[in-house]
Structure 1
């Protein structure tokens, strides 16, 4: 069985839109494209290389696929990330019949969820999601993501496409690993850990003031 891993750049307020550059994805009037670049350092680069060390295939939404297909095949062949991305299989969630020209690309077909479930149940390397916010929302609704590798940048963007958008299914998360870089980037790996657990510090005997306060909230 293969794991599905969402490896995502996010801001402190959970935005994942256009981390790589101003022209990457300006849809919705997003004006802060390229917010990752100022925080690049040796530790951030090392974390990225570690992410791509183990065998993987890419799982991409069509918008991210188009961004990658217009960039990675044209990067110098000795670049280690380009070398990996250009050689692995790219599974693409797309409604279009336009040919996927990037070497090793395959459409997931009309029933994306069924195709991904079949891939997940089969043999092969882990399926690594890069970007692909719309695809991530679909996978979250079907509880198909096994692990989140987040690079959390010290910036608040105020709006844009979120990793956990409105309508995300509530879930607890277990922290597997964390570290940070000198520029303030936090690298955190989580896995889903069942239902959200709740409790109360008030106890079973709230004060009359507390009871009255609650009435105003209804």
Structure 2
């Protein structure tokens, strides 16, 4: 049995759309593509390296897969990003798509049949953790099905107002435990949460 980790860059109001560049995803008129770039520093860079320091396989939605497939195989060996590129190019990539014949990136595999059943089957296998990066539509389905074991969030000190969000009203109610957190010099909160069961409630009535 293996775990499923969702890693995401998010704004204070939960937007995760197009963090890395202006051309990444401008759908619905989104005009803030590349909003994480001004906050990039050694602390956030180390957090990304730490995320990929343990064995993993990628679990991706189709839009994110296409963005990654157009970028990572073309990174040169002398680039500062070549280590991550080597990892992404080598690891198995499981893709939620209806166009299985167009998965040309090395070691890519289409999820077959019902999405939730397919991911449950992957989780039951032995192997490294499943890691989802970006892939907002997929992530919201994973949260609705209660399949997410861990959240690795980099929360940026900005409000974007509109855009695709990490959470929606369909997420399954779940409690998470904060395992660790640090902040970057630019104010990015880097937090790791582990799922810890059901939501508990209470009352302050009678409390003095």
8 Å CA contact 1:20, 1:33 repeated in 2: yes
Unmatched 5+ stretches in structure 2: none
Residue number among 158, 169, 173 corresponding to 1:170 in the alignment: 173
Does the aligned pair in 1 maintain the 2:145–2:172 contact within 8 Å? no
Q: Kindly indicate whether the alpha-carbon contact (under 8 Å) linking 2:100 and 2:109 is maintained by their aligned counterparts in 1.
A: no
What is the alpha-carbon distance in structure 1 between the residues aligned to residue 34 and residue 69 of structure 2?
Answer: 18
Aligned length: 204
1:28 matched to 2:28 = yes
**Equivalent position SS for 2:104:** coil
TM-score of the pair, normalised by structure 1: 0.89
Aligned residue runs from structure 1 range 133-212, under 5 A: 133-203=136-206
* Aligned-residue offset at 1:65: 0.2
* CA–CA separation in structure 2 for the residues paired with 1:194 and 1:124: 23
CA distance in 2, matches of 1:39, 1:90: 28
Aligned-partner SS, 2:89: helix
Shift of 1:196: 2.2
- Residue 76 in structure 1 maps to residue 76 in structure 2: yes
Distance 1:202 1:25 in 2: 48
Deviation at 1:194, TM superposition (A): 2.2
Answering whether residue 108 of structure 2 is matched by residue 105 of structure 1, we say: yes
